[in-house]
Structure 1
Amino acid sequence: MARNTTRAEPGLRDLNEDQRADPLFVRSIERAMQVLSAFNHADQPMSLSQIAEAAGVDRSAAQRMVHTLRVLGYIERDDMGRGFVPGIRILDHTLDFLRLNHLVRRATPVLQELRKTVRERVDLSLFDDLRVVYAVRLQSKRQTFYTTLVGHSVPTFCSSGGWAILSKLPEDRVRDILDRSDRRPFTPETITDVPALMEKIAETREQGYSLAVGQILTGEIAVGFPVLDADGAPVAAIHVAGSQSEWTPADFTNRFVPLASEAARAISQY
């Protein structure tokens, strides 16, 4: 069954009882974050009961949490009074992350220059286990709502950035990520078979870049390049995306691979 989600699952976030038993671990903060995370897959304002169910807490606890978060500005009523939505204070923390993240700060001017040259969509995504999260999004003449949003995420297993990152990981970790991934397809072209994905990742490793055609969006073609930290570990990826109505895979790679590859090297901490 195909799917269309607003964000991918983060993966390694399930805590065990030893972590919760740590005297430094504050469970009330965990519950508050569960309430905020209840909106992760919402496509409309949520009722108190819906928040309680999504957060895995009882309605009474949800009511107290929502009230407190409303007072603090992290949750508010939507304009039409249909339920609750995240509050404007959330954006303060988004800004804090972006302005204080060294990789984002270093990458942004490089990506801006790349965007001027290629005149196609250019993104920076950060590696987060089963998903990659977009931190910089520079648009082309074609855009949809979700392709404009910082914080949107897609699965590692089927994205150009994900393949680029996986190509720099040990094979056992690659298989672990693929095995834990929800590999339902986004389009008829999405590769979901683990052996086929391993072949694609091996091809990416040999080439130094990934080529993804119609994996997340029908008609989209994208090339991805790993961004490495000072230890040579993949922490992010940059990608250039275009339309199959304008480019063949061969022409797209010939045009953009040299430019984007140079940008990825400039951003990486070798």
Structure 2
Amino acid sequence: MDPIRAYHDGSLAVQTRVGVREAAEHVGRSIGRGIRPVAAAFLELQPMLVIGAADPDGRVWSSLLTGPPGFVRATGPTTVSVAGGVPARDPLAGAFAEGRPTAVGTLALDPRTRRRMRLNGTAEATPRGLAVQAREVFSNCPKYLQRRELYAGEGPAPPEGARRDTDHLTPAQREFAGAADTFFVATLGPDGADASHRGGNPGFVRVLSPTELTWPDYQGNAMFLTLGNLETDARAGLLFPDWATGTTLQLTGTARTEFTATGRAVRFTVERVVEREHASPLRWSPPEYSPANP
């Protein structure tokens, strides 16, 4: 196989600015192209998968796919199948077609064990769902991941409720995002798409207006994949799950990184909002907050 190019120029620029190039080079050696047996076993246990991609209009979204354990499984050293594909009412429903590989970022995250695995590459539709071809596979540490127990919903999904589309956050949506302890962010860069996790204590996301919010960029693994992508392409998508009800709040827009003397923050401008009631059948317990949360 060809060697992995761990970072593109955007990530390298952020790493250099922050002063973590040496640490990033060390971490980058963990990125591989193949799916190891332990990773394949982890995937088959998961009832959910977060993906990130652009819709046919070029907007970037982060979406939540769910199913019985085994709905995501490795079918070869670099291939994964996702049974069911993207739900028809999801903003990414039209993003993938047969015979047309499309950039995708995926994140398998298990709140029960605080483990997560990222697999980025391309995906195309199949009669059964999605076929994903891996470009890079790696695990992340459990930092800022809240522990939760799953108590319902690993079976087939019941019919979901209403879908609401707007170009701004309603007061209820602003309150929900501002109280979140977890969300997911999708970005695009020269090497493809990426889906990542952000976590903290409630209030770490600040909603500044109906069309703008911000969050701090906490110290992580020094890779700067998300911020690196934003250096080259401002498009981004956010996913806020309601762990208790299965409702999802999806935002698409643009984001930029703000560097200050005290740290970094990302400012996101909302262009479109999709709220889907009971989009996920999964029901999770209240969180046990990560000891790493500031």
Q: Which has the higher strand share?
A: 2
Higher relative contact order, chain-length normalized (CA < 8 Å, sep 6+): 2
